[in-house]
Structure 1
Amino acid sequence: MGFLLLMASAVPLRADPINAEDFLPFDAAQARLGELLFHDKILSGNRNISCATCHHPKHGSTDGLSLGIGEGGVGLGPERTPGTSETAVKKRIPRNAPALWNLGHRDVRVLFHDGRVQATDYEDWEFDTPAREYLPKGLNSILAAQALFPMTSDAEMAGQPGENEISGAVRPLVHEAWPIIAKRVRSIPEYGALFVAAFEQVNAPEDVTIVEIANALAAFIGTAFQSYDSPYDAWLRDGAPLPPAAEAGRVLFFGRANCVSCHNGPLFSDQDFHAAGLPQFGPGRTRAHDLQPRDTGRMNKTDLLEDAYRFRTPSLRNVALTAPYGHNGAYPTLRTMIRHMADAQAMRAAWRPEMAALPAVPWLDEYDFVLADDRLELARQDARIDVPVVPLSEAEIDALEAFLHALTGARAQTRPPGVPGRVPSGLPVD
């Protein structure tokens, strides 16, 4: 390893630390209220799915699936099924459920895999979102802005047009559904009292708007999923030695493997967008008038060809808890994801559909992999890959994997946020 140490000496061999003061200040009473809302299916159109269904503490704040089974499904995590008859799912969620760790950190400025919610420098437009000028004022963070949109997605929480009053209001403009959701929540007496107690500006239940709901959700997520007590943090702060394999991986990560070029800063993410050429499958997050089930990533937001197939760099903190990996969960293990990032084209050529964690949905299965044999589409994706090839030995892959495990927080692994025994709506809790 002496050669690797020499090569790495020219670059920083550490990331910035995280401390409690690096997080946005959230109100504790609002966070307790947000925990109930996070687990309450009252926020969904058909009252059958909650935020926690796809971001469950049991699964490291994700759902353990490549592409989730959203509104209409039954069960939790890898055991979730697509439902039956008229209430069954109409399509898979097009992207992997992102983890929630450290989203309350002050450095977070873009959310969603394509960054369609992002902080701005505009005086009168704090967040750029799909709601544009209709985004309500008073949101306490970018995390609150992001929390608004799963509630208005037909496949995630809203349901199909005509199934309920929320899904009907989403079209043509998503903001028209938010007052309906707020009325649902504040009409439950227990919630009304909790909002009055938690928010200074709420004097009566009828004052509750979608802003208070989103701010409460953000307060919960931004506090409950803080994590900065990993072995790496102990090394960074106190000089506590890492296990030898993880130490070798650290040197590689910040050195010859150059993972740090994208996974940098306290969150191990540059919060920028890169084209890693992952295998495409599922319904895709298609652009208007595109008949192909593809996902062009950042280009969906910017309309710039240069952004085609680029996706946000994920944080690597607690990454060992959040399999499968990639914007669509293409790889089941850290090891296979490391291999892909070292040689994207070779790994994509070797990728097989059975590597994806996709619950069987007989009426959708035939469409899941239609792009796999599309020669022209594969060539377009190959042309956009901007992650360089880095030859790695098996021992080096072992070392990098060990280092990534050293980014797992102690409390995240042993005491994740719990699940309330009940919620004020009386609906079942996942």
Structure 2
Amino acid sequence: MAGAAAAQDLPRPLTDDDFIPFDMEQAAIGHQLFYDPILSGNQNIACAHCHHPDFGTSDGLSLGIGEGGEGLGPDRTPGIGANKIRKRIPRNSPGLWNLGAKDIHTVFHDGRLSISDVYGNGFNSPAQEWLPDGLNSLLAAQALFPLTSQFEMAGNVAENEVTGAVHDRIDKGWSILAKRIRTSSYYGSAMVAAFDEIETAEEITITQIANALAAFMAIEWRSTDSAFDQYLAGNTDALTVTQKSGMDLFYGKAQCSSCHSGSLMTDQKFYALGLPPFGPGRTRQWDPYARDVGRMGESNRLEDAYRFRTPMLRNIVLTAPYGHNGAFPDLESIIRHHLNPRTSQENWTPQMAALPKIPWLQKTDFLVWEDRFEMERQFNKIDIDAIQLSELEVQSLISFLHSLTGFSVNSPKFGVPEGFIP
């Protein structure tokens, strides 16, 4: 092992045993569902519009353009007329790599979904006791919530029966989506064949839909064959000299591994990094600011204000921009922010955010950034200390992060179906 990154500092390599086994036939159905707008309220947006492999399973935007938008990635437009979007999606679209890992117990930037039996169904979630039974994984539960989000996939109130039902109770929206799948000539028969617990299409519920989506995402975007993974498995020649230097920094002087720890390179905890705030935020009821208070919105604990979950890092090179709101366009800028948040904030400009111009939203996009009192509150909550690294050391860290890219990312098992319309 090289330098400071002694064997005891490095995680063990990921293996097949680290992942939940999923059914390939169910995954094939999930593959079609993931790229099909049938699961959106107005049937005009699919999961893939915000999580596309061309953008590392994200969308290339700081804050996404959801229901009502048109196109794909950074070229996606906000729509026109009555169908135009009313709000940007409040947070950056996360990558989907390795979400089928057994050790993952908390997801979403604010951790609002986690493994727990607080409601008797295996999960602590915004749906509380209304989450359906029979979900095969945390990933299956996670797949359900964009479907009922007004600005992601459900649509605006009064536009369709799904969003109207969700405003009554969240599970009623899922029932409507399940009916669409039950009455589909393709999905109905395919699900009966793939799921042993149902004998007729009439028995299909949102549970089978979520489980199929989870099976697809877990199989399609498992990534364990990067140069770093090969190094962990014993191939000491897998990394370049510069990458080894960056690894030493990551697990040593730069202190990256104090949060990005373990085989998944995350401690799944929450930290306030003082990223420049913008966009609509996830404003709590009665909050006078259009801000994002992060974990506090879920925990209701003041000490959690502005904290966000530590992300996993495999294939991080592919998922720009970076941060819970996509504030930084490249690895160098997000690394430098970690090294000195105050200086980074002073040097940051709104032009660094990947935000397509939306005339009716631009006046409010940076209101919180321009509020010096709120900015000071956020800065005073920062959990990390400044670290001095040389220019060469920063570049070595970047090189190491490149070694986390899987060699097979461009040859997935399923790929983008021919019928997908951006």
Q: Aligned partners of 2:40 and 2:119: how far apart in 1? A: 33
Please state how far the C-alpha of 1:252 moved relative to its aligned partner: 0.3
SS at match of 2:110: coil
Counterpart position of 1:395: 392
Identity of aligned residues (%): 52
Q: Aligned partners of 1:131 and 1:159: how far apart in 2? A: 18
Which of 210, 225, 229 is equivalent to 2:225?
A: 229
Structure 1 residues 75 and 153: CA distance shift in structure 2, 3 A = same
After superposition, the C-alpha distances for 1:314-359 in whole angstroms (9 at most, x for unaligned) are 0011000000000000000001000001111110111000000001
Please state how far the C-alpha of 1:13 moved relative to its aligned partner: 3.4
Which of 214, 218, 241 is equivalent to 1:218?
A: 214
Q: Aligned partners of 2:241 and 2:2: how far apart in 1? A: 17
Contact in 1 for aligned 2:221/2:412 (Cα 8 Å): no
Q: Does 2:294 correspond to 1:297? A: yes
Please say which of residues 240-249 and 210-219 is displaced more in the overlay: 240-249
Q: Aligned partners of 2:236 and 2:251: how far apart in 1? A: 18
Counterpart position of 2:153: 157
Q: Does 2:323 correspond to 1:335? A: no
Which of 20, 24, 28 is equivalent to 2:24?
A: 28
Counterpart position of 2:375: 378
Size of the alignment, in residue pairs? 421
After superposition, the C-alpha distances for 1:113-159 in whole angstroms (9 at most, x for unaligned) are 00001001559331000000111110000001111110000100000
Which of 175, 181, 190 is equivalent to 1:179?
A: 175
SS at match of 1:118: strand
Matched AA of 1:235: Y
Q: Does 2:127 correspond to 1:135? A: no
Compute the RMSD of aligned alpha carbons: 1.6
Contact in 2 for aligned 1:225/1:417 (Cα 8 Å): no
Please state how far the C-alpha of 1:8 moved relative to its aligned partner: 3.1
Q: Aligned partners of 2:74 and 2:374: how far apart in 1? A: 30
Contact in 2 for aligned 1:187/1:205 (Cα 8 Å): yes
Q: Does 2:264 correspond to 1:272? A: no
Counterpart position of 1:425: none
Contact in 2 for aligned 1:13/1:250 (Cα 8 Å): no
After superposition, the C-alpha distances for 1:72-127 in whole angstroms (9 at most, x for unaligned) are 00000010000100000000000000000000000111111000010015593310
Counterpart position of 1:322: 319
Which of 71, 86, 91 is equivalent to 2:82?
A: 86
Structure 1 residues 82 and 6: CA distance shift in structure 2, 3 A = closer
Counterpart position of 1:353: 350
Please say which of residues 233-242 and 344-353 is displaced more in the overlay: 233-242
Q: Aligned partners of 1:13 and 1:119: how far apart in 2? A: 28
SS at match of 2:168: coil
- TM-score normalized with structure 1 length: 0.95
Q: Aligned partners of 1:318 and 1:239: how far apart in 2? A: 19
Contact in 2 for aligned 1:13/1:251 (Cα 8 Å): no
Gaps of 5+ in 1: 423-427
Q: Aligned partners of 2:231 and 2:408: how far apart in 1? A: 17
After superposition, the C-alpha distances for 1:366-401 in whole angstroms (9 at most, x for unaligned) are 110011221110111111100111111111100000
Q: Aligned partners of 1:414 and 1:311: how far apart in 2? A: 32
- TM-score normalized with structure 2 length: 0.97
Which of 45, 57, 63 is equivalent to 2:59?
A: 63
Contact in 1 for aligned 2:117/2:124 (Cα 8 Å): no
Q: Aligned partners of 1:330 and 1:399: how far apart in 2? A: 22
Please state how far the C-alpha of 1:416 moved relative to its aligned partner: 7.7
Q: Aligned partners of 1:73 and 1:261: how far apart in 2? A: 39
Q: Aligned partners of 1:250 and 1:128: how far apart in 2? A: 36
Q: Aligned partners of 1:92 and 1:225: how far apart in 2? A: 26
Matched AA of 2:354: A
Please state how far the C-alpha of 1:176 moved relative to its aligned partner: 1.3
Q: Aligned partners of 1:230 and 1:284: how far apart in 2? A: 34
Contact in 1 for aligned 2:31/2:414 (Cα 8 Å): no
SS at match of 1:385: coil
Counterpart position of 1:368: 365
Matched AA of 1:345: R
Please state how far the C-alpha of 1:10 moved relative to its aligned partner: 7.8
Q: Aligned partners of 1:288 and 1:159: how far apart in 2? A: 20
SS at match of 1:271: coil
Structure 1 residues 361 and 417: CA distance shift in structure 2, 3 A = farther
Contact in 1 for aligned 2:220/2:412 (Cα 8 Å): no
Contact in 2 for aligned 1:282/1:367 (Cα 8 Å): yes
Please state how far the C-alpha of 1:182 moved relative to its aligned partner: 0.2
Counterpart position of 1:48: 44
Q: Aligned partners of 1:9 and 1:216: how far apart in 2? A: 40
After superposition, the C-alpha distances for 1:172-198 in whole angstroms (9 at most, x for unaligned) are 321110100000111111110001000
Q: Aligned partners of 2:282 and 2:388: how far apart in 1? A: 32
Please state how far the C-alpha of 1:11 moved relative to its aligned partner: 8.6
1:242-281 paired onto structure 2 within 5 Å: 242-281=239-278
The runs of at least 4 aligned residues of structure 1 exceeding 2 Å deviation read 5-13, 121-125, 238-241, 413-417
Q: Aligned partners of 2:411 and 2:276: how far apart in 1? A: 33
Q: Does 2:17 correspond to 1:17? A: no
Contact in 2 for aligned 1:294/1:371 (Cα 8 Å): yes
Structure 1 residues 274 and 163: CA distance shift in structure 2, 3 A = same
Contact in 2 for aligned 1:11/1:255 (Cα 8 Å): no
Counterpart position of 1:429: 421
Gaps of 5+ in 2: none
Contact in 1 for aligned 2:69/2:78 (Cα 8 Å): yes
